[in-house]
Structure 1
Amino acid sequence: MSDTETPFDVQLQVGEILRAEPFPEANKPEMAKLWIDIGTQELPSAAQTGYNYEPDELVGRQVLCATNLGTVRIAGFKSEALTVGVPDEDGHPVLVTPDAAVPLGGALY
Structure 2
Amino acid sequence: MVETPFDADIRVGEVLEAQRFEEANKPKMTKLWIDLGEEHGEVQSAAQLDHHYDPAELEGRQVLCATNLGSVRIAGFKSEALTVGVPDEEGYPVLVEPDEDVPLGGLLF
Q: Note the C-alpha offset of 1:5.
A: 7.8
Structure 1 residues without counterparts, runs of 5 or longer: none
Q: Which runs of 4+ in 1 moved over 3 A?
A: none
Length-normalised TM-score, structure 1: 0.89
RMSD of Structure 2 on Structure 1 (CA): 1.3
Name the CA distance, whole Å, in 1 between partners of 2:20 and 2:108.
Answer: 29
Tell me, what secondary structure is at the counterpart of 1:29?
coil
Corresponding residue number in structure 2 for 1:92: 92
Structure 2 counterpart SS, 1:17: strand
Deviation of 1:88 (Å): 1.1
Q: Once the 2 structures are TM-superposed, how far is the Cα of residue 89 of structure 1 from its aligned partner?
A: 1.8
Equivalent pairs, count: 103
Deviation, 1:30, is 0.6
Task: Give 1:43's aligned residue.
Answer: 43
Measured after TM superposition, the shift of residue 90 of structure 1 is 1.9
User: Residues 108 and 101 of structure 1: is their aligned pair in 2 closer, same or farther, counting only changes over 3 Å?
Assistant: same
Seq. identity, %: 67
- After superposition, residues 1-109 of structure 1 pair within 5 angstroms as 6=7, 10-39=8-37, 40-109=40-109
Local SS of the residue matching 1:24: coil
Counterpart secondary structure, 2:73? strand
